[in-house]
Structure 1
Amino acid sequence: MKRVRWCGMFIVGLIWTAWPVIAQTWVLDPQAGWQDVADLPQGEYLTAISQIKQQLASGKSGDGVAALEQLKADFPELAGGDLEVFIEAEKIYAKRNLGKAGKLYKEFLDTWPDSPLQPAAMERYFSIGTAFLQGQKRTFLWVLRLPAFDDGVNIMRNIADKAGNSPIALRALQVTAENQERRKRFIEAYHTWAEIAARWPTGAEGRDALLRMARALHASYDGPDYDESVLRGAQSYFEDYMQRYPQIAEELKLSETLRLITEQLAYKQYEVGRYYERIGNQDAAHRHYRQVIEQWPDTGVAQMAAERLGPDTEPPVKPTFRRKLFNAAGGFLDNWFGLKLLFGSSEAQSDGTNATLNIE
């Protein structure tokens, strides 16, 4: 029911936005259908609000407050609690007290879901959430200025919950996910993109969300000392994307990304073998090296595993110029496959062989 009400208000908002272009403003009545605002008892009031909404959208908050006060004086019989709270929120917003203004806009949205000012309040609430996500601080205990990223996320979450599948709900989730990525909260970003993919499964929105899910999971991998399940998840999403959108995947060179993930998975297993080798359990170490060779034969890491097993072990793939170069220069693999860019700056070196792998 809440989504139906919002859809009605959104349609009204779209029509009001087009006010300078068309001669009439229409609203959707659940019983009577589309009606010209001029034919309604509150027609002048709604028309005045549509014009004030344009002032608010232009960023002239002071002019908007004055117009709202005049509206209240001109239509005392129609002006209710929604207008009172909205005017108060606008006054506080004009003073850039975003924390307090945000609470009032939320109160407005919760209390008057059918108000004609609902779209304007939603946009104001969105702008406050965006400001917080971009680093705007809020005042705490009248003195302290603290980061408000979590407040921004909560505001966007409220908008996404209230606005159904409207454009502002999509924008709220997209802005949230991108902010989570910038703050390196990749798992949180993954879940936000996953919600977008579930709510908008088709079109560009669903396509882009699928790609961002894969990239967020891949970026969340912290290296061979950590669980590789995020790598397997990213691999699955990239493969799904390549199957659905082969042309775009080719342009983005996602096949190279998949090769990198394969190397990372192999290196994770290789590092387990290295651990057993360091503690003196050669049998366990050799089992893991053989698993690397069997499961990921066409990788640089498989070549490394073969070298750990000894000179009598057959190489997993026919030596190529790249493999020979890798054997000659210890830092080749991490540079070629991008591992160095992904992991950091620590080193993992082989002891007694000519292959060295630098891992960030």
Structure 2
Amino acid sequence: MRLRIFLSLVLAALVGGVVAPPDCPAPLIWRKGEGWRYESGGVSTAAPNPTEQLALARSFQAQKDYGHALDCYRRLLARWPASAAAQDAQFGLAECLSRKGYHYKAFKEYQALLAKHPDTKLFDEVLQRQFEIGNLFLAGERDKAWGIRWFKAPEKAVEIFEQVVKNGPFSPVGPEAQYRVGVAQEKLQEPKLAIRAYEKVIERYPKHPLAETAAFAIGLAYYREAKQAEYDQGAADQAITAFSDFLVRYPRSNRTEMARQFLVALQREQARGLFQIGQFYESNRKYKAALIYYNEVIEQNPQTDWAKLARRKVETLTPRLAPAPPAPS
């Protein structure tokens, strides 16, 4: 008899230790329709219907208890996915994730809301939240996973802004998101992709104030490339074209004077490059080719100091190409 009582007590202790150990922060609870679930801190996150479940989730969220709020929202979406409260639950889930620093996960949950409910009443607000998350990554926010903030992720800014544009190209944040794709690409050292993003701003939103900003940014992107080019004048030519187009399109812009200054600097840079190519051919005694480039300096940038030097070169080299006089008979 004593042995039977002892074994019963041991079994009860073991079962009690498994189901709800004294130091367990999340007791295991069984509910009909849900099965076994852990409840964090022993706090109930369950309600009998979706309306009360949503209210419970929002009460936790209002208290900044985002962990329990997330449990409530997830429970609602799992148990009542087709309920009227599901959209608000999905939105609340994303909000709480963002509050806990899981911004990329939050972006994904906002996107899931739009995928499930494309006509949601929360459409504009979702796009605004996604746009704000993109700005966080653009500003240097570190991606968070498993409770740890890892590395800066500007490539996520590109992904998010592109998705915002895809979701609502003509929404209040559409033009700004498209422009910021270009800014993020520049941070990623992808000037060609940045330029294409800026071009899309001008193509899609020609009357938006950001079209002017994007046009100027195109010139700047080419200018930065030209600064690195020694003998390849393609970037410099494209930058000159971009700033020239800017001055034609936006003659009253407050960036006009700056565009002119860049244009002068680029023309000087272009002349220098052409002159150096001419010098290269001259040093290899290819005088005809050298003269072609010296003459280009004079024709394209006649007011520069390089043009003065090119004229002297032309005067010096031209006689060398003159046909030799016929031998006396």
Please give the range of the TM-score, normalised by the shorter of the 2 chains: 0.5 to 0.7
1:200 aligns with 2:217: no
Residue of structure 1 equivalent to 2:108: 103
Residue of structure 2 equivalent to 1:334: none
Tell me the distance in 2 between the aligned counterparts of 1:218 and 1:230: 7
- Of the structure 1 ranges 248-257 and 128-137, higher mean CA displacement relative to structure 2 is found in 248-257
What TM-score comes out, normalization by structure 2 length?
0.64
- Structure 1 residue 183 displacement after superposition: 5.2
Tell me the distance in 2 between the aligned counterparts of 1:128 and 1:108: 16
Residue of structure 2 equivalent to 1:157: 162
- Structure 1 residue 312 displacement after superposition: 8.7
**Number of equivalenced pairs:** 255
User: CA 1:289/1:105 → structure 2, altered by over 3 Å: closer, same or farther?
Assistant: same
Which consecutive residues of structure 1, in runs of 5 or more, have no partner in the other structure?
Answer: 1-44, 314-360
Residue of structure 2 equivalent to 1:216: 221
Tell me the distance in 2 between the aligned counterparts of 1:135 and 1:99: 13
User: CA 1:270/1:207 → structure 2, altered by over 3 Å: closer, same or farther?
Assistant: same
- Structure 1 residue 93 displacement after superposition: 1.9
CA contact (8 A) 2:157 2:184 kept: no
User: CA 1:61/1:256 → structure 2, altered by over 3 Å: closer, same or farther?
Assistant: farther
Tell me the distance in 1 between the aligned counterparts of 2:285 and 2:112: 65
Q: Secondary structure at the match of 1:109?
A: helix
CA contact (8 A) 2:114 2:123 kept: yes
- Structure 1 residue 251 displacement after superposition: 5.1
Tell me the distance in 2 between the aligned counterparts of 1:168 and 1:294: 46
Letter in 1 for 2:310: A
Residue of structure 2 equivalent to 1:273: 278
Residue of structure 2 equivalent to 1:135: 140
1:304 aligns with 2:297: no
Match of 1:247 among 246, 252, 261: 252
- Structure 1 residue 96 displacement after superposition: 0.8
- Structure 1 residue 153 displacement after superposition: 0.7
Residue of structure 2 equivalent to 1:26: none
1:264 aligns with 2:269: yes
Match of 2:94 among 89, 94, 103: 89
Q: Secondary structure at the match of 2:252?
A: helix
Tell me the distance in 2 between the aligned counterparts of 1:234 and 1:261: 7
Tell me the distance in 2 between the aligned counterparts of 1:281 and 1:228: 20
Q: Deviations over 1:112-149 (max 9, x none)?
A: 11122333322222222111111111146776712211
Q: What is the correspondence of 1:318-329 to structure 2 with a 5 Å cutoff?
A: none
Q: Secondary structure at the match of 1:247?
A: coil
Tell me the distance in 2 between the aligned counterparts of 1:120 and 1:312: 70
User: CA 1:299/1:186 → structure 2, altered by over 3 Å: closer, same or farther?
Assistant: same
Match of 2:240 among 235, 243, 246: 235
User: CA 1:249/1:242 → structure 2, altered by over 3 Å: closer, same or farther?
Assistant: farther
CA contact (8 A) 2:294 2:313 kept: yes
Tell me the distance in 1 between the aligned counterparts of 2:260 and 2:240: 10
User: CA 1:78/1:141 → structure 2, altered by over 3 Å: closer, same or farther?
Assistant: closer
Residue of structure 2 equivalent to 1:225: 230
CA contact (8 A) 1:140 1:146 kept: no
Tell me the distance in 2 between the aligned counterparts of 1:226 and 1:247: 35
Q: Secondary structure at the match of 1:248?
A: coil
- Structure 1 residue 198 displacement after superposition: 1.0
What TM-score comes out, normalization by structure 1 length?
0.59
Percent identical: 23
Match of 2:294 among 286, 289, 311: 289
Between the two structures, name the one with larger relative contact order (CA 8 Å, sep ≥ 6): 1
User: CA 1:295/1:121 → structure 2, altered by over 3 Å: closer, same or farther?
Assistant: closer
- Structure 1 residue 221 displacement after superposition: 1.8
Tell me the distance in 1 between the aligned counterparts of 2:183 and 2:65: 28
Letter in 2 for 1:177: G
Letter in 1 for 2:101: R
- Structure 1 residue 299 displacement after superposition: 1.4
- Structure 1 residue 167 displacement after superposition: 1.6
Tell me the distance in 1 between the aligned counterparts of 2:120 and 2:254: 45
Residue of structure 2 equivalent to 1:342: none
Q: Deviations over 1:189-230 (max 9, x none)?
A: 221111111111114233332222222222232444353233
CA contact (8 A) 2:247 2:256 kept: no
Tell me the distance in 1 between the aligned counterparts of 2:163 and 2:275: 46
Letter in 2 for 1:306: R
- Structure 1 residue 154 displacement after superposition: 0.3
Tell me the distance in 2 between the aligned counterparts of 1:153 and 1:312: 53
Letter in 2 for 1:209: A
Tell me the distance in 1 between the aligned counterparts of 2:119 and 2:231: 50
Tell me the distance in 1 between the aligned counterparts of 2:168 and 2:252: 34
